[in-house]
Structure 1
Amino acid sequence: MTEAPPNTSTTSAGTEVRIAHTSDLDTATLKAARTLLYDVFDDMTTEDWEHALGGLHALVHEDGELIGHASVVQRRLLHDSRALRCGYVEGVGVRADRRGRGHGAAMVAALERVIRGGYDLGALGASDEAADFYASRGWQLWRGRSWALTPNGLQRTADEDGCIYVLPTGSTPLDLDTDLTCDWRDGDLW
């Protein structure tokens, strides 16, 4: 069996997941990724797309067409009086007619490898439909209160409670029942 290059892995359907930084993606690939995510998510915004940029992208192509996208970007989360380097997962989506074939799991596995190797923890805001998927992969529900450090100071983000999942990397002890604060960004804070 031939081993995949270090920036690729293979899905259960036999297609490859390619990992690339935003700066290494050409305009056509970025446009295809944005179009895919707008097709997958009815409520996708310009800010949501921007949140997915500036980090590493996991991409799945089939017959030359992009069918899956996920990314991990660096953020700072405050926990227990510490600023943690977080690999924050954004823009996970698979084209509707290609779901259920392991593409999403393969993309997230590639990003989990990046998170475990380079961050204090992973985090993401999960939809109700995706919560079981992440929990089955070892992501843990944050049970404490959520906050955001905004230009106007600390702001409670109670609507996000029960939707934030973290992936401990073992490098930092986490108390899932305490407060967790994210850094500021436009659009959805989490």
Structure 2
Amino acid sequence: MIELIHTSAAAPAALGAAYRLLELVFEGDFGAEDWEHSLGGMHALAWEGDTLVAHGSVVQRRLLHNGRALRCGYVEGVGVHPDHRRRGYGAAVMAALEGVIRGAYDLGALGTTDEGEPLYRARGWLPWTGRLSALTPTGLTPTPEEEGAVYVFPGVLPLDLTAPLTCDWRDGDVW
């Protein structure tokens, strides 16, 4: 069962379970800043009985593209418990989040790992091939290390995937 719930309405125990799940999934490469990026939007929680087996969230961000500030549903904290992979949980979580994106945002975006990329490609997410940057406190800062890892879920607005794309600032990983 997929539960779609806003951070403000989620039970503390469910949020705690999601954090612990993501620590496990990312094998120690998931911390407080990463979790903060996952908060403030909609969470898709996949339960098997009382056990949380998958999580993902979508939060609002601003992306600059071709002179426009776009309202972006940015996907964060997607993970499936290692013992429950290849059972459709990742796809079910993404389907719920994509529904939120379609209903509320100009486009969706995410930063992927090599392991996650096949799931996103199979669901119609497209790699951004243009230059990436972040609007930081010191100005526009290129983020070439993220190029090839940012994917978008197009909405109704036309996108030039080869054009520069700039994200808003946040602590930790900006993409």
TM range (shorter): over 0.9
- Corresponding residue for 1:37? 22
Secondary structure at the aligned position of 1:93 is classed as: strand
Counterpart of 1:121 (choices 107, 112, 129) is: 107
> Shift of residue 106 of structure 1?
0.3
Alpha-carbon distance between aligned partners in 1 of 2:49 and 2:97, rounded to the nearest angstrom? 23
Alpha-carbon distance between aligned partners in 2 of 1:63 and 1:114, rounded to the nearest angstrom? 24
Counterpart of 2:63 (choices 59, 74, 77) is: 77
1:99 maps onto 2:79 in alignment: no
Q: Map 1:1-190; keep pairs closer than 5 Å.
A: 16-42=1-27, 43-170=29-156, 172-190=157-175
Q: Which amino acid aligns with 1:19?
A: L
Alpha-carbon distance between aligned partners in 2 of 1:159 and 1:45, rounded to the nearest angstrom? 20
RMSD over aligned CA atoms reads 0.6
Q: Which amino acid aligns with 2:18?
A: A
Alpha-carbon distance between aligned partners in 2 of 1:173 and 1:61, rounded to the nearest angstrom? 36
Q: Which amino acid aligns with 1:74?
A: Q
List, as ranges, runs of 4+ consecutive aligned residues in structure 1 with deviation greater than 4 Å: none
Identity %: 60
Alpha-carbon distance between aligned partners in 2 of 1:144 and 1:45, rounded to the nearest angstrom? 29
Secondary structure at the aligned position of 1:188 is classed as: coil
Q: Structure 1, residues 62-108: CA drift from partner, whole Å, max 9, x if none?
A: 12111111000000000000000000000001111001000010000
> Shift of residue 146 of structure 1?
0.3
> Shift of residue 28 of structure 1?
0.8
Secondary structure at the aligned position of 1:111 is classed as: helix
Q: What TM-score does the superposition give when structure 1 sets the normalisation length?
A: 0.90
| Structure 2 unmatched ranges of 5 or more | none
Q: What TM-score does the superposition give when structure 2 sets the normalisation length?
A: 0.98
> Shift of residue 131 of structure 1?
1.1
User: Which structure has the larger Rg over C-alpha atoms?
Assistant: 1
